[in-house]
Amino acid sequence: MKHYTSINDIENINSWIDEAKEIKANPLANKELGKNKTLGLLFFNSSLRTRLSTQKAALNLGMDPIVMNVSGDAWGIEFGDGTIMNGNTAEHIKEAAAVVSQYCDIIAVRAFPSLTDKEKDESEQILNSFVKFASVPVVSMESATGHPLQGLTDAITIAENSTKKKPKVVLSWAPHVKALPHAVANSFTQAMQKMDVEFVIANPEGYNLNPEITKDTPIIHNQEEAFKDADFVYTKNWSSYENYGQNLEVDANWTITKDKIGDAKFMHCLPVRRNVVVEDAVLDSDSSLVIEQANNRTYAAQLVLKKILEDL
């Protein structure tokens, strides 16, 4: 594999899940593979799980991780083509990506969307510029429209916890005080579309995700109806896609409660706002898989890095 920037980079999700389970069972088996190789982790935004789990994955493979907070540690980066750089940006991505490629064998990038300019966000300017101008493989640690390490993690977690041949998985929108990106919901949707599950999305009117992502996945605006016989309820807030980046008024209470989900397993990518997105009773119950998901972040990242290292 060259780059990993989307769930679409996974050719066969079942074989990937099997390989991730092997890695999880024996995480140090490939400690020689990454020896004398560096992973550059470039953060344009905050990160806890991704920051730590991707470093841990690199260490398990014998790699040396080098972390940089681009905004605070380095220079304002220009992405425009042909720009006369007489403003606030001091370094062009053409140089930045090529330069980092001199020091890192793989570059991992996190860059959130603006949520104000749909077209710009969907162009994935930052991530795609790294792919274009870096001379080494690029891994998305969450970009404007996708979080493929999370989506892979979630697929692994569902496979591990499923007791049925074809479980029912619901992706449910939930309330939040801030306007949030669509990245996690998009990648989860794409991952579920590749798996042998019954997959539906529950969200209020006005909150349908990008139809190019959801494709023929059923979208249900009644949460109770969607949750019927669910085995997994994956919860996430996202801002409106149609009214791009807006937090619309929502009449119904979409907060996840124990009553609503019954025996279904609860999933969330974290961080999660307690008693806004989901009540304490769910998170503190045995139904919650959120910590197991966080654990699987390491093995998802390790699988991706392993596949890239094998093709270096």
Using CB under 8 A, list all residues that contact its own copies. Answer: 28, 31, 36, 38, 40, 43, 46-49, 51-53, 55-56, 59-60, 64, 66, 68-69, 72-75, 78, 82-87, 90-92, 94-96, 98-100, 102-104, 177, 270-276, 280, 283-284, 290-291, 294-295, 297-298
Cα 5 to the center of its chain, rounded Å: 10
Please indicate if the annotation marks 3 as binding a ligand: no
| Residue 39 assigned to a binding site | no
Instruction: Flag whether 47 is marked binding.
Output: yes
The reply to whether 104 sits in an annotated binding site is no
Q: Which is nearer to its own copies, 6 or 154 (CB)?
A: 154
Q: What is the largest CA-CA distance in the chain?
A: 60
Q: How far is the CB of 23 from its own copies (least distance, A)?
A: 14
Q: Which is nearer to its own copies, 41 or 197 (CB)?
A: 41
Minimal CA–CA distance to 104: which of 53, 65, 143? 65
The identity of residue 212, as a single letter, is: E
> Which residue carries 């990008």 as its tokens?
210
Which residue number, 59 or 200, has a Cβ lying nearer to its own copies?
59
First to last CA, the chain: 8
Tell me whether residue 28 or residue 312 sits nearer to its own copies (CB atom): 28
Kindly tell me which of 122 and 292 has the beta carbon lying closer to its own copies.
292
φ, ψ at 43 (rounded to 5°): -110, 115
> Has 149 been labeled as part of a binding site?
yes
CB of 14 to its own copies, least distance (A): 24
CB of 262 to its own copies, least distance (A): 23
Residue 50 counted as an annotated binding residue = yes
What is the rounded distance in angstroms from the CA atom of residue 300 to the CA atom of residue 118? 29
In sequence order, the 6+-apart residues with CB closer than 8 A to the CB of 75 are 89, 90, 91, 96
- In one letter, which amino acid is 24? K
Helix (H, G, I), strand (E, B) or coil at 239: coil
| Shortest spacing between CB 173 and its own copies, in angstroms | 17
Q: Which of 267, 296, 293, 4 is CA-nearest to residue 147?
A: 4
Contact (CB, 8 A) for 200 and 217: yes
Give 195 or 283: the residue with its C-beta nearer to its own copies. 283
Residue 166 labelled as part of a binding site: no
238 is in an annotated binding site: no
Give residue for tokens 């009117």. 205
**CA dist list (Å): 285 to 98, 262, 263, 288:** 48, 11, 11, 6
Positions at the binding site for carbamoyl phosphate = 47-50, 75, 110, 147-150, 269-270, 297
Positions at the binding site = 47-50, 75, 110, 142, 147-150, 176, 236, 269-270, 273, 297
